[in-house]
Structure 1
Amino acid sequence: MMSGGGEVVCVTGASGYVASWLVKGLLHRGYTVKATVRDLRNRRGFAHLKALEGAKDRLHIFQANLTENGSFESIVDGCIAVFHTASPVVLSTTDPQGEVIEPAVKGTLNVLQSCSKAASVRRVIVTSSMVAVNYNRNYQGPDVVVDETWFSDPEYCRGNKRWYWLAKTLAEKAAWEYAQENKLNLVVLHPGFVIGPLLQPTLNTTSQLILNVLTGTQGFGDYQFVDVRDVARAHIQAFENPSAAGRYILVGTSITHSQLQHILHQLYPSLNLPTIGERNPTFQVSKQKAESLGIKFMPLEVSLKDTVESLMQQNFFKL
């Protein structure tokens, strides 16, 4: 699986945070990209994609609905790879089944079913999340190392009303079952808390949470950070590397909230953040499998600085 050469790939949910960087990377490597969005009438939502280098000649944007059967069939036909990033990121809802779980699970199966009908598709890369890995009753402590053998427990998610966690867990389970039954070449990526500069004009969930930290309105126990550019590169590597298989956790750094504050203070001494007591990280995360894919994670300080600078450049935040 070599890069570029005008070969055609598909990216679902292409206007999203991670997907935008993925489209940028794919165009840079010479691919022709079929990008799907929810609504072609919302031109502002994907204008940043059309402005990317190479987009004029090699980017084609289509409308597709996750829950509409067959919505992706004509789009993935002729593609050698499909990157399925589209999934609702909703952390609070009064309709978890309709707003989060069904679009995630049914949408994933809808895309995979379309891929299995397209003889051209060599591999499907699904974007999952760390929330489908570590949310269970397993003991977690500062010496525990979470790796790709871990799975979140659907009943534990349901019992704690972690609907996004549940949706990602069920969607991955459904994806593996379908891929095994239909002999589909599948790779699943599990990014942690994604940070880095924004290409899209709107605030995505993780950037909003970083903004809340900067303004002192929100604090967490600890974080498993990864740069959005590393996540995009990992997607491309997961396709181009012939030996890529199974699940890959994508986490560059695990730190506590107080450690995060310390780094932010070093980068921006004028920041006035509330004091939070020191504590140990909840767990560590293995990088071994991701690094075997050829991923070298960006330093956290670089990612954080680029995140803050991007938020300021787009007028979401002022020092």
Structure 2
Amino acid sequence: MREGCSKVCVTGASGYIASSLVKKLLAKGHSVHATLRDLKNESKVSLLKSLPQSEGKLVLFEADIYNPNDFDHAIEGCEFVFHVATPMIHDPGSQYKNTSEAAMAASKSIALSCVRAGTVKRLIYTASVVSASSLKEDGSGFKDAMDETCWTPLNDSLAYVYPDDPFYKDYTYSKTLSEKHVLSYGNDENGGGLEVVTLPCGLVGGDTLQSSTPVSGVVCIAQIMQDARAYISLKFLKKLLGKIPLVHIDDVCEAHIFCMESTSISGRFLCASSYISLEEMANHFALHYPEFNVKQEYEDELKKDIKWASTKLCDKGFVYKYDAKMILDDCIKCARRMGDL
């Protein structure tokens, strides 16, 4: 593992994962170039400026994912770049026709900024497990295991997986295409020696630095929340992935930093500590939180048991600290603190 402090860039720095990552990086003594879409957004700026050790170590840059050339300035002089930002809702007035096009353009521009800077050793991309479904290409069922070799098929045979809301398909295509594109810079022909790591993260739960319960945290506890959209999202993940890969926000941030501190690392590493069924989640809530009305879950068909076969991150020496119970419990604590439960 490398030692010493570095200058790093974090895109989309006020987001759920990114803000916690910035806090940990500052605590470890690193200098952070943090990008925000709008430096006039006082709540997001004050969130970052109020972090411990931010004085003299944190520099804010205005950069919008829909104007990908904005990121050159922020990346200049950095040794590591964490590309966390992603377009969630499409801006119809932009030059791009959908979120996939916008995300691809941003990923390409940020990777090229890393190459141009001449100082960046490694680009670490926050991907999503929606890119790693083990569904077969013809949509006829799942493969035996889910690991880094799995890529979500982007074809019409999976139309039954997506809810009516176009967001789910757009997001899946956006994260899958962007991750593949980012990985292409991890070879000498495109990246000029740049090391590229992608971390397709499971459904992220835990506490937050933000002023409201994170969307992913609400999805984690959708079976006890009166939130129809969150429950649709949970069912979508189950249809797409067979079960729900869960990971704690703390483990996600530590995994990013682990990938920065490793002497040399590149490629794709799935990031989740647990892989559980909706029935197991509902049983946990029913047993430990009897005060809530828990949605009952029944497997609609006999499915073979898909295994979580990803060990690449742990094989490198990474250790997860949070299991499924701890993740779900922390989501409930967070929602209670925010007054949502």
Structure 2 counterpart of 1:206:
216
CA gap 1:90/1:226 in 2 versus in 1, 3 angstroms: farther
Q: CA deviation at 1:47?
A: 2.5
Give the C-alpha shift of residue 284 in structure 1. Answer: 2.5
CA distance in 1, matches of 2:198, 2:157: 20
Query: Cα–Cα, structure 1 residues 307 and 140, in superposed 2: closer, same or farther, change >3 Å?
Result: same
The equivalent of 1:52 in structure 2 is: 51
Among all aligned residue pairs of Structure 1 and Structure 2, give the percentage whose two residues are the same amino acid: 28
Distance 2:106 2:258 in 1: 24
Secondary structure at 1:125 match in 2 = strand
Match of 2:291 in 1: 270
Q: 1:115-126 residue pairs with structure 2 within 5 A? A: 115-126=114-125
| Residues 197 and 167 (structure 1), Cα distance of their counterparts in 2 relative to 1, 3 Å cut | same
Corresponding position of 2:318:
295
Give the C-alpha shift of residue 37 in structure 1: 0.9
The TM-score, its normalising length taken from structure 2, stands at 0.83
Q: What's the counterpart of residue 188 of structure 1? A: 198
1:144 — aligned with what? 144
Q: Give 2:246's aligned residue.
A: 225
Partner amino acid for 2:155?
E
Cα deviation digits, residues 93-113 of structure 1 (max 9, x gap): 9x9x64411221111111111
Change (3 A) 1:281 1:293: farther
Whole-angstrom CA distance in 2 between matches of 1:274 and 1:188: 34
Q: Which residue of 2 aligns with 1:310?
A: 334
**Separation of aligned partners in 2, 1:190 and 1:85:** 11
**Code of the aligned partner of 1:113:** L
Q: Deviations over 1:135-164 (max 9, x none)?
A: 6425655x8221111112233588566111
Alpha-carbon spacing, 1:164–1:38, altered in 2? closer, same or farther (3 Å):
same
Residue deviations 1:47-70 (CA, integer Å, cap 9, x gap): 322222211231111110223242
1:1-319 counterparts in 2 under 5 A? 2-5=2-5, 7-90=6-89, 98-134=97-133, 136-138=135-137, 140-141=141-142, 144-156=144-156, 162-180=169-187, 181-183=190-192, 184-216=194-226, 217=228, 218=231, 220=235, 221=238, 222-278=243-299, 283-297=306-320, 298-315=322-339, 317-318=340-341
8 Å contact kept, 2:224–2:295: no
State how far apart, in whole Å, the 2-side matches of 1:46 and 1:200 are.
12
Distance 1:123 1:40, change over 3 A: same
TM-superposed CA distance for 1:225, in Å, is: 0.7
Instruction: Identify the range of structure 1 (78-87 vs 61-70) with the bigger mean alpha-carbon deviation.
Output: 61-70
Find the aligned partners of 1:131 and 1:27 in 2 and give their Cα distance.
30
2:222 is paired with a residue of what secondary structure?
Answer: helix
Contact map agreement 2:32 2:58 (CA 8 A) in 1? yes
Q: Aligned in 2, Cα 1:19/1:293: closer, same or farther, shift over 3 Å?
A: farther
Q: Please report the RMSD computed on the Cα atoms of aligned residues, expressed in angstroms.
A: 2.5
Q: How far is the alpha carbon of 1:286 from its aligned partner?
A: 2.2
Q: Deviations over 1:162-209 (max 9, x none)?
A: 111111111122222344323221111110111111111244331232
- Decide whether the 8 Å contact of 1:135 with 1:157 is kept in 2: no
The separation in 2 between residues aligned to 1:172 and 1:157, in whole angstroms, is: 21
Q: Structure 1 residues 4, 302: closer, same or farther in 2, change over 3 A?
A: farther
Whole-Å Cα distance in 2 between the matches of residues 81 and 264 of structure 1? Answer: 40
Q: 2 CA distance for matches of 1:131 and 1:275? A: 24
Q: Distance in 2 between matches of 1:126 and 1:83?
A: 6
- Tell me, which stretches of 5 or more residues in structure 2 are unaligned? none
In the alignment, the residues of structure 2 paired with residue 281 and residue 72 of structure 1 have an alpha-carbon distance, to the nearest angstrom, of 46
Q: What is the TM-score normalised by the length of structure 1?
A: 0.89
